Amino acid sequence: MRVLVISIVVLAIAVIVGDRIAVVLAQNEIGRQIAAEYKLTNDPSVDIGGFPFLTQALGGSYRDIDIRVGDWTDKKITVRDLDVALTDLSASLSDLMDKRTSNIVAATATATAVIPYDTVQSFAPSGVKSIAYGADGLRITGTFSMEGIPVPATVIVTVAPTDEGIQVTPVSAQSTAGGPKIPLGPLRKSLAFTIPLQGLPLGAKLTTIQPSADGLHLTAVAHNVRFSDLPMRTS
193: helix, strand or coil? strand
- Other C-beta atoms closer than 10 Å to the C-beta of 59 total 11
**Hey, where are the domains in the chain?**
2-115+200-229, 124-195
pLDDT along the chain (235 residues), means of 10: 30 42 60 62 71 63 80 85 85 63 78 94 91 91 79 89 92 76 74 88 89 95 75 42
CA distance 35 to 18: 26
pLDDT of 2:
30
Closest C-alpha among 201, 196, 197, 166 to residue 68: 201
pLDDT of 233:
43
pLDDT of 93:
63
Please enumerate in sequence order all residues whose Cβ is within 8 A of that of 172, keeping only pairs 6 or more positions apart, or say none. 155, 156, 181, 184
Tell me which amino acid residue 41 is: T
Please enumerate in sequence order all residues whose Cβ is within 8 A of that of 42, keeping only pairs 6 or more positions apart, or say none. 35, 70
Q: How far are the Cα atoms of 5, 88, 99, 117 from residue 103, in angstroms, in the given order?
A: 43, 13, 10, 40
CA distance 36 to 23: 20
pLDDT of 1:
33
165: helix, strand or coil? coil
Task: Transcribe 211-231 into DSSP letters.
Answer: EETTEEEEEEEEEEEEGGGSP
pLDDT of 96:
60
E strand intervals along 45-148: 45-48, 61-74, 77-90, 105-115, 128-134, 137-146
Tell me which amino acid residue 230 is: L
CA distance 85 to 64: 7
pLDDT of 28:
62
| pTM of this structure | 0.77
pLDDT of 6:
29
Strands 193-195 and 199-200, by their bridges, are: unpaired
Q: How many helices (H) and strands (E) does the chain have?
A: 5, 12
